[in-house]
Amino acid sequence: MSKAKILTDKPVTPVLELQIEREAPSRDHVPEAGEFNKKVLPGQFIYIQMDHLRDLQPYVPLLLGLESSKSGQVRFYGMDWHLISYDLQFRLRSQIGRVFAGPAWIQNLTVAENIWLAQLNQGVDRARIKERINEWLPRLAGEHAEAVSKSLGRRPAFVIEPILQICQLIRAFAFKPRMLILESPLRVLPHGLHRDLIKTIQDLNDSGCATVWFDLDRAPELLTESMTIRRWAIRNEALVDCEAA
């Protein structure tokens, strides 16, 4: 049965619902001003192109419910981040896999402890966590699997960036996320792993996980040729739907 067929059979709860009132900057006329009212359905892939890495700052915390929007709301699986209990907020966030462009690690824990932390905190069994990591390690690390294994016992400050990036991917992907937030995930990833990464994202999307990918460049060809993507952008600090424009 196709995805379109499933969507028509019964109403699907959107993974994300965004209702953001965009303020027009005072300096000039801005076509982006107005309300940004969009939904992200399970299995959808959103590619958001931005001008600067600093554009991540207002939007990623907003999607994760870490900051409230002055004018608007963000709902995750129908629940407004700011109308639910803190406890539920944390539980829901643990179901979102995030690959950070900036600081991504607790420096006084080892890389392995960092990967386990959120899952152990949600009461997932240690053996189960190890099993998931062992399952995802060859899939995401490819020929670097041995180097990644060796780095797991070290603190992040002593591990090189490409290996840390693979570890970030394992942390984000391995525990059945309901949504992925990827901030320039290809930036320091070894080139040979790009195709595997995109294939993995595709598999996750097919299983109902929504993906929001933020990047500075246009969507890489590898991505556009293998997946149907929706394009948004951050222009003049405002979120816009490129396809609607």
Residues that bind another protein (CB under 8 A): 61, 64, 66, 86, 89-96, 98, 100, 102-108, 117-118, 120-123, 126
Q: What is the nearest approach in angstroms of another protein to the Cβ of residue 239?
A: 19
Cα gap 198→194, rounded to integer Å? 6
Name the phi and psi angles at 71, rounded to 5.
-135, 90
Nearer to another protein, 155 or 235 (CB): 155
- Smallest Cα–Cα separation from 3: which of 231, 228, 242? 228
Nearer to another protein, 92 or 137 (CB): 92
Name the phi and psi angles at 6, rounded to 5.
-60, -45
Nearer to another protein, 96 or 193 (CB): 96
Nearer to another protein, 188 or 229 (CB): 188
Q: What is the nearest approach in angstroms of another protein to the Cβ of residue 81?
A: 12
Q: What is the nearest approach in angstroms of another protein to the Cβ of residue 224?
A: 28
Q: What is the nearest approach in angstroms of another protein to the Cβ of residue 232?
A: 20
Q: What is the nearest approach in angstroms of another protein to the Cβ of residue 93?
A: 4
Q: What is the nearest approach in angstroms of another protein to the Cβ of residue 212?
A: 13
Cα gap 113→106, rounded to integer Å? 9
SS3 234: strand
Nearer to another protein, 121 or 224 (CB): 121
Q: Which tokens in the block code for residue 90? A: 């944390």
Nearer to another protein, 90 or 160 (CB): 90
